[in-house]
Amino acid sequence: MKSPFDLTGRVAVVTGANTGIGQGIAVALAEAGADIAAVGRSEASETAEKVRALGRKCELVSADLSSIAPVRDVVDSVVSSLGSLDILVNNAGIIRREDALDFSEEDWDAVMGTNLKTLFFLCQAAARHMTGWSSQSGKRGKIINIASMLTFQGGIRVPSYTASKSGVGGLTKLMANEWAARGINVNAIAPGYIATNNTAALQADETRNRQIMERIPEGRWGDPSDIGGAAVFLASSAADYVQGHILAVDGGWLAR
């Protein structure tokens, strides 16, 4: 009997898959049987090696997602090279830090452009492809957006990041409302504090690290593989009746 978590024969696009959470998601999806297209500015050669070592295909798609210019080419490239696009994981994102009183328009536009505008139009392009085959094949398309703790909380000194990730939560629900009837599941994952290169400074700060650990009921930083497991669930048939949900993978941070 086939496992409901089996992704064999599926093709997954993961943006920002070169390291950290994106790499963890790509590897987890490959472990479940999916072929991977790693999309982003930075070459994801290490991720490709890990995916191919699992016996899965991995295509590297170079694209600067700071604008929507490459969106259509990304979808066309993936479909051409791997034959389909069944799963989209929007992981790529940027952050700018400054007091709200001094925050610049440039930093606002940069973050909102990458984290929200490009995310939406990549979802749109992928959904147009998915609706082309879902009614005939019975397959369901899966879109997974990466939200944040700041989808639920305000944070400090990251106004455009908070706004963009709040927007990701809202768009996830809107797209689920519109596309569920078209055979597409749209959900999001909100990672808590995950041990990656991006959080190395926080981990090294003894005071801040202690404060973070004291609030996490699980008592540890998350690992990228923790996010990978959630992505496999949302990408699989086990989540066919899950729509518009923002899954917090945070060790209990929000519960505290």
Residue 56 per-residue DSSP state = -
169: tokens are 């939560």
Residue corresponding to tokens 């957006």? 145
H or E stretch at 49: helix 45-53
Taken in order 113, 39, 130, 243, the sign of the CA dihedral is negative
Whole-number Å distance between alpha carbons of 37 and 26: 9
Residue 229 contacts by C-beta under 8 Å, 6 or more apart in sequence?
Answer: 28
Residue 161 is among the residues annotated as catalytic for this protein:
yes
215: tokens are 């609030």
Residue from 56, 74, 78, 161 carrying the catalytic annotation: 161
Is residue 24 within 8 A of residue 224, CB to CB? The reply is yes
Q: Which residues carry out catalysis?
A: 161
